[in-house]
Each structure stands twice: as C-alpha cells, then as structure tokens.
Structure 1
Amino acid sequence: MIREKDIENYLRNQVKKIGGIAYKFESPGNAGVPDRLVLLPGGRVHFVELKAPGKKPTALQLAQHRKINKLHSRVLIIDSKEKVDRFIEWVTQSEI
C-alpha cells in the first residue's frame, strides 16, 4: 500500500528533475495549510495538498484551500504517483 509520504517524496523528486523546488509548507498558527509549495522556473507557484490514495482533505484543510482560492491561487490535491506525473506533464507543457 502506498503512503502519503511516498507520494510526497515522488513529487519532490519529480519537481526537482524539471528544475523546481517543492518546499514543505508550514505556517505556524495556520493549521491545515497545503503540504507543499512548488516553485517552478518562470515564476510559477503551486500549492499542493498530498493524500494517501482515496483519502480526502479534512474540513480544516478545505477551509484553508478556500482562503487560498479567494486570493486567486489554487490548491491541487494529489493522491497518487500517476497524478504527480499528470501534474508534471501539465506544468512542463504550460511552459511553452
């Protein structure tokens, strides 16, 4: 069974391969923020919430996602290595 930590490590490695950084995102006093802040070449920034396959964000996490969305940023929820691969494909194709 794949764990959230496995998906998180895979994301970090795949982002690094394309020249980006996937910082662990922690914000003291703001529980429920997304797990990773992904910085990519060209000034692109993505918030990523990682989950084990089939798991859903908590109510507190969803509340933080809504706050971020109101600022015209988006939180991507990724719960598999396949979704990491799709994310990497999407961001590399949107470079053009």
Structure 2
Amino acid sequence: MSEGHWIVNKVIAGHSMAFNMDTLVTMWAAMAFLIIVSFIATRKLTIFPTKLQLVFENILGYFSNLVNNMMPKEGQKHFPLIASLFLFIVTANIMG
C-alpha cells in the first residue's frame, strides 16, 4: 500500500478487504453536501421559485426528459435512482 493514505483492512464474511478512508470521507462529505443543499433548496418552496430551486428544477427536468426518451413509461420508476446517482457521482468527482 502507498504511504500517506489511511487504509483500514477488515475481514468481512471471510474475505479480506481494504478501505481507503480518504475515499470514504470524501464520499460522506459529498452526501452531506447534497443533503444540505437539497434541504436549503426545498426549505421555503414558493410559487415563484428561487434561483437554487430553478437550478435543481432544470437539472431534474433534463434527466426526466432523458429517461423518457430512452425508456418506456415503465422506466420512469427508475428516474429517482438515476438522477440521485448522477448528482452524487458528479458532486464526488468535483470534490476530488
């Protein structure tokens, strides 16, 4: 293993696994960031949306159209998972 990284070795169900804690901390920070921003964006919903609400509405509208064009109507049940994964992956990549 390389030096300077905080790596934890665990045995889970008889398999040795190594976890890079830098990656896990960044993942939890990305999740916390998305939860906080989502809470702030949806805290005071009004008829006339704020700029942050418009940003989220445009992002989710884009993904809704993307899912509608690629999947039949039955595929709409997967939209929340697809949008959530995309937002998480983009946020985690931007955070490094």
- Same fold by TM-score, threshold 0.5 exceeded? no
TM-score, normalisation: structure 1: 0.33
Larger C-alpha radius of gyration, 1 or 2? 2
Bigger proportion of residues as helix: 2
Q: Higher relative CO (CA 8 A, sep ≥ 6), structure 1 or 2?
A: 1
